[in-house]
Amino acid sequence: MKIERIGLIGYGEVGKIFSASLKDKPGVAAMAVWDVKLANPATQAAELAHAVLASVTARPSARALCEASDLVISAVTASNTLAVAQEAAPFLRPGTIFLDLNSASPGTKRQCAALIDAAGAHYVEAGVMTSVPPYGVKVPMLLGGAKAAELAPLLNSWGMDAKAVSDQLGVASAIKMCRSIMIKGLEALVIESYTTARAYGVEDQVLPTLQETFPSIDWSEQGAYFFSRVVQHGQRRAEEMRESANTVREAGFEPFMAAAIASKHQWVADQAKAGVFAGVGKGAKWQDFADGLLAARKK
C-alpha cells in the first residue's frame, strides 16, 4: 500500500497531534487538514495560525481535502462520525483509504462504511484504545475492515501502534465501546463518589478502604486524573458514551448503565461550561474539582 498525501478531518486535540507527527513520516509528501472551525470567523484565524506553525496545509473545505488525499483520517467527535462520512464520500477518489478514528457504535461504523465503499474508496474502522495524550500517534488502536490488515503495517512503519483484529466491520468498534463503558463508568463513579464523600466530610475514611481493596491503584492520584479529563473533555466523553449506549442497544439490551454514564459526563461538561472549574489549575487535586462542584451546588 502506497500513501503519499494524507488528509485529516477534525483539527482538534487528536487532529493536531496526528497531523504534526505524520507530516514528516517516510513517503508522506503532503499533510492537509480540514475542520469546521476553519470556516468559522470566530475561530478561523487561530486555527489557521496553528496550522501554519505546525507546517500543515489547511484546506478550504472537506471536498478540497478529500479530492487531494490518498488517505483520509476522520478524527471528530462521536456525534459527527456519520455526518463526516456523508460529507466526504462524494469527493473521495476511487481507492482512497478512509480511516475512521471516531468512537462510534458498530452500527454507526457500518453505516459510514456503506457510504465510503459505495464511492469506490475503502473504509477502515479504528478503535482507539486509550487517551491519545500522552501516547501521541503511538496510541494503541485496533483496525477492522477489508483493508485493515494491509493498512496496519504502513501505519506501524510510521511509528503508530495499529493492530488489525478483523476483516469484518464492527469488531474493533465493539471492543472499543465495551471498554469505554468500563473506563468512562469508572470516571463517572469516582466523580460521584468522591464529591459526595467530600460533601459529608468522609473522604479520609472512604479512600483508604478503596486503597485496601485495590492496592495497586493510587486512588487519590487516579481521582485527580479522572476529574481533570472529564472536566476538560466531558462533552466528547458524553457523546462517546451515547454511542456506547447505542452499542449496547444494537446487542439487544437496554443500556441502563451506559446511558447514566453519558448523563454524568454531560453534567460535568455543563458545569465546566458554566465556569464552575474556572479557578482550578493544571495539576490540581481531586478535592479542588469536587470543591468547585460543591460550591456551585450551594448557589
pLDDT tens for each residue of 120-162: 999 999 999 998 988 999 999 999 999 999 999 999 999 999 9
134 and 84 in a single domain? The answer is yes
Q: What is the DSSP letter of 104?
A: -
204 and 277 in a single domain? The answer is yes
Last residue of a domain, one of 138, 167, 196: 167
pLDDT tens-place string over residues 13-39: 999 999 999 999 999 999 999 999 999
pLDDT band at 299 (very low <50, low <70, confident <90, very high): low
Between CA 96 and CA 140 the distance in angstroms is 23
Mean pLDDT of the residues in the chain: 96
Predicted local distance difference test score (pLDDT) of residue 178: 98
213 and 195 in a single domain? The answer is yes
Note whether 82 and 107 are within 8 A (CB). no
What is the torsional sign of CA 218, 221, 227, 233? negative
Write the burial class of residue 204 (CB in 10 Å: 0-12 exposed, 13-18 middle, 19+ buried).
Answer: exposed
Share of the chain above pLDDT 70, in %: 99
Residue matched to cell numbers 501502534: 161
Which has the closest alpha carbon to 56: 106, 116, 11, 111?
Answer: 11
Residue 135: how many CB atoms within 10 A of its CB? 16
CATH number at residue 200: 1.10.1040.10
Residue 196, all three cell numbers: 459526595
77 and 47 in a single domain? The answer is yes
pLDDT tens-place string over residues 214-242: 999 999 999 999 999 999 999 999 999 99
Q: Is the pLDDT of residue 269 over 90?
A: yes
177 and 163 in a single domain? The answer is no
Q: Which ranges in the chain belong to alpha helices (H)? A: 13-22, 44-54, 62-67, 81-88, 106-118, 132-135, 148-157, 171-200, 203-213, 219-250, 256-273, 286-298
The pLDDT of 254-282, averaged and rounded, is: 97
**Number of structural domains the chain divides into:** 2
Last residue of a domain, one of 117, 146, 167: 167
84 and 68 in a single domain? The answer is yes
163 and 177 in a single domain? The answer is no
Last residue of a domain, one of 112, 141, 167: 167
Between CA 182 and CA 187 the distance in angstroms is 9
Residue 118, all three cell numbers: 459505495
Predicted local distance difference test score (pLDDT) of residue 272: 97
| Start-to-end Cα distance in the chain | 59
Q: Is the pLDDT of residue 1 over 90?
A: no
Report if pTM > 0.85: yes
The range of the structural domain enclosing residue 284 comes to: 173-298
101 and 159 in a single domain? The answer is yes
pLDDT tens-place string over residues 61-109: 999 999 999 999 999 999 999 999 999 999 999 999 999 999 999 999 9
CATH number at residue 29: 3.40.50.720
21 and 143 in a single domain? The answer is yes
Which has the closest alpha carbon to 70: 158, 151, 136, 6?
Answer: 6
Predicted local distance difference test score (pLDDT) of residue 7: 98
184 and 158 in a single domain? The answer is no
Between CA 273 and CA 257 the distance in angstroms is 24
Predicted local distance difference test score (pLDDT) of residue 134: 87
Between CA 299 and CA 203 the distance in angstroms is 23
142 and 179 in a single domain? The answer is no
Residue 228, all three cell numbers: 481533570
119 and 55 in a single domain? The answer is yes
Type of residue at 160: M
Which has the closest alpha carbon to 290: 171, 215, 207, 183?
Answer: 207
